[in-house]
Chain A
Amino acid sequence: MKKASNLKSIEPRLNVSSFTPSEITHALKREGIHLSVGTYTIHLQSAIPSVSESISLLYADYPLNEDTSFADFHVSINHPRNVRRWIHPQAIFRIETYEPFKPLPADQAYPLLEWGLNWCVSTQYHRYLVVHAAVVEKNGRAMILPAPPGSGKSTLCAALVLRGWRLLSDELTLVSLNDMQIVPMCRPISLKNESIPIIQKYDESVTMSRPSFDTNKGTVAHMKAPKESIQRVRETAPPAWIVFPKYQPGTAAKLDKFSKASAFMGVAANAFNYSMLGAQGFQTVSKLIDRCDCYEFSYSNLDEAISMFDRLAQQ
């Protein structure tokens, strides 16, 4: 791999795409790479080809840190050392030597890495209220979409960012405890089952990882975040709307006001560290609800949904 420091004077910032896939593979296999993802830095090491393939593809526009002195999360994803390496190879996610999950089939190595990184953020990053929600931005205001799996949150989020909304996060919304701003992390969007062909048809230029089959969420593929969202990852946004989406086949898009009390309960139930933050968790959710218009939203057609949200953003 090119020595990052030698290139400092030529390129102000090095991205993953500054290197060839084989250089990334080589670096990942050996000392690993320091990837800058919004507010945090990941030190990632992996000898699994499908992981380096997905990193080169989906993280192409993310900065590679030249300074390797500090990383927030030191993670690796590799084949466990056992005989299954040759029969049914597996992948194991580690934070240094700690293994928070059981190994999965090697085909699921890349989704396992994404889940592992989500685990790191939701269990160790208590400077923020971490809500299980997608969050997108338009005209300087953020829309939070909290929802349980299966509600169509990621599909809606993918469609919104393909139609001009800025991606802040697809899975974990970080609310700053100090100033109530939404802090982007802008990682790839996780799509499941039918959502994968729907989004591929929705925008044929979309970049997507090779799907992994038979995961415990069904078929999973990750969509690359838009380049502009990644470049603006340091720009925080104030929260303006909280929308609880629900996919309902065969219905017209419907946006209804949601009571603040119910929205509070909905956000608290979806926040990973709500009770961990104690009184501060309660105060943060209260402030968040105060600052946002809260809605319930049901939809079946993505275009209809997006034009409704665009109107909301123009108000």
Chain B
Amino acid sequence: MKSCDPINRVLRDPGACSSFNLRQWDLLIRQARHANLLGRIASSLAERQLLEAVPDKPRSHLEAALVVAERQVQAVQWEVKCIMQALADVDTPVILLKGAAYVASQLPAANGRLFADVDILVPKSQLDAVEMALKLHGWITTHHDAYDQRYYRTWMHELPPMQHLTRETVLDVHHTILPETARLRPDPQKLREAAIPVDGFTNVKVLAPMDMVLHSATHLFHDGELEHSLRDLVDLDSLLRHFGKNAPGFWQTLVKRAQELDLTRPLFYALRYTSCILDTPVPAETLEAAKIGSPSKLTVKLMDALFSRAMQPAHASCGDLLTGSACRLLFLRSHWLRMPPPLLIQHLLHKAFISPRDTQY
């Protein structure tokens, strides 16, 4: 499988950088910055007391990335408090997803991570009340185009992203983890039932360990947000390593939970690519059991070719002639999985011919 040096080497083994010369540091910092992973790499070096040994020039960039990451963790904690205050009068369970959940539950996946937004999951029946309460507290919708509003509200798994007027932070309000029109239909009720409370926060929950992994896998391998694909793969690696060690019975029941939620395919890809690209220690039995989610051998070969290219930093030193095509094909695949063909055709035609005309004014 393709591997991009030196970033992949350091992600697999942070100690590898102790022998780096300045030219390797230069390239590592550029690749890591483009993959949004500079803070993550800096924090994994700091945890292992390897940061002091880094030459001064590259170290200044690693330390700067740590400063940014620490500040972001604070900002996310504050944002969660503000959201909970806004939703205090809406009698509904709120579940934090992705980055905000890693921060709230103090998982290693939050260390050195950068955040673009906060994601929450609420029951669909409460969506209107939640949206109204958020609007009253300063969040406004970001998509003003009537078609986009309908696209989100009718077909997607979330409201159009909301942005706070003064803090300018972005909030995604989900009612399930995949679009209503997607091929896979995990039942959000099952996720809510298994969700667990978080220390230090009242009325906030996060997904149970296995569900957190499955959601992260689904987001990366079924929802096609490939912009930060290597960062998302590193998240998955961190969650798997942490829960594999700390959550009782994690590896034994992970595949069964994926079956319950109709998410065996994303889990198959997640375990395959984390173990191949990042050396995640997945037990052989779990890898074997996850094969029930595998597509045909030919498809696996094709996906290997596509994902191994897409899961690299968006940096010139990491691509080959096929990288661009691989990313475009995966983008098409994500849309294919997102909607049935007639709807997809209608959507693409609208985006190609009608939306550009509307937005000229």
Query: Which residues from chain A sit less than 8 Å from chain B, CB to CB?
Result: 41, 67, 69-72, 74, 96-98, 124-127, 273, 275-278
Contact = CB atoms under 8 A, between A and B. Distances in A.
B67 A276 contact: yes
Contacts of A96: 30, 34, 315-316
A100 to B, nearest CB: 12
A72 B57 contact: yes
Given A126-B64, A126-B67, A127-B63, A74 B30 contact: yes
A70 B64 contact: no
Q: Which 10 A-B pairs have the closest CB atoms?
A: A126-B64, A69-B23, A69-B22, A126-B67, A70-B22, A70-B26, A127-B60, A276-B71, A70-B57, A124-B64
A69 B64 contact: no
A86 to B, nearest CB: 24
Contact of A276 (B25, B58, B63, B68): B68
A98 B57 contact: no
16 contacts: A41-B57, A70-B22, A70-B26, A70-B57, A71-B26, A74-B30, A96-B316, A97-B34, A124-B61, A126-B64, A126-B67, A276-B67, A277-B67, A277-B71, A278-B71, A278-B74
A97 B30 CA distance: 10
Contacts of A124: 61, 64
Given A96-B34, A126-B67, A126-B68, A69 B26 contact: yes
A74 B26 CA distance: 10
Contacts of A98: 34
A199 B247 CA distance: 69
Which of B21, B30, B60, B315 gathers the greatest number of chain A CB atoms within 10 Å?
Answer: B60
B26 A125 contact: no
B316 A97 contact: yes
Contacts of A67: 22
Given A74-B30, A97-B34, A97-B316, A127 B71 contact: no
A74 B31 CA distance: 12
Interface of B is mostly: helix
Which of B26, B314, B315 gathers the greatest number of chain A CB atoms within 10 Å?
Answer: B26
Contacts of B67: 126, 273, 276-277
A132 B130 CA distance: 41
B70 interface: yes
Contacts of A125: 60, 64
A69 B34 CA distance: 19
Interface of A is mostly: loop
A49 B71 CA distance: 41
Interface of B: 21-23, 25-26, 30, 34, 57-58, 60-61, 63-64, 67-68, 70-71, 74, 314-316
Contacts of B21: 69
B62 to A, nearest CB: 10
Given A97-B34, A98-B34, A278 B60 contact: no
Contacts of B23: 69-70
Given A69-B23, A127-B60, A127-B64, A97 B70 contact: no
A183 to B, nearest CB: 11
B60 A275 contact: no
B78 to A, nearest CB: 11
Contacts of A273: 67
A41 B60 CA distance: 13
Contacts of B34: 96-98
A151 to B, nearest CB: 27
Contacts of A278: 70-71, 74
Contacts of A71: 26
Contact of B61 (A72, A97, A276, A277): A72
Contact of A126 (B57, B63, B315): B63
B56 to A, nearest CB: 10
B67 to A, nearest CB: 4
A98 B58 CA distance: 20
Which of B21, B23, B71 gathers the greatest number of chain A CB atoms within 10 Å?
Answer: B71
B109 to A, nearest CB: 22
Given A41-B57, A70-B22, A126-B63, 11 more contacts: A69-B23, A71-B26, A72-B60, A72-B61, A74-B30, A96-B315, A96-B316, A97-B314, A124-B61, A276-B68, A278-B70
A69 B21 CA distance: 9
A140 B21 CA distance: 37
A273 B63 CA distance: 14
A218 B71 CA distance: 36
B13 to A, nearest CB: 22
B71 A70 contact: no
A74 B315 CA distance: 12
Contacts of B70: 278
A96 B71 CA distance: 25
Contacts of B314: 97
B60 to A, nearest CB: 5
A98 B314 CA distance: 10
Nearest to B60: A127
A278 B58 CA distance: 22
Nearest to A43: B26
B247 to A, nearest CB: 32
A277 B30 CA distance: 23
Contacts of B61: 72, 124
Contacts of B64: 124-127
Nearest to B70: A278
Given A124-B64, A276-B71, A70 B25 contact: yes
A69 B315 CA distance: 18
Nearest to A74: B30
Contact of A97 (B25, B68, B315): B315
A225 B327 CA distance: 47
A119 to B, nearest CB: 14
A74 B21 CA distance: 18
A278 B70 CA distance: 9
Contacts of A126: 63-64, 67-68
A118 to B, nearest CB: 16
B285 to A, nearest CB: 42
A273 B64 CA distance: 11
Contacts of B68: 126, 276
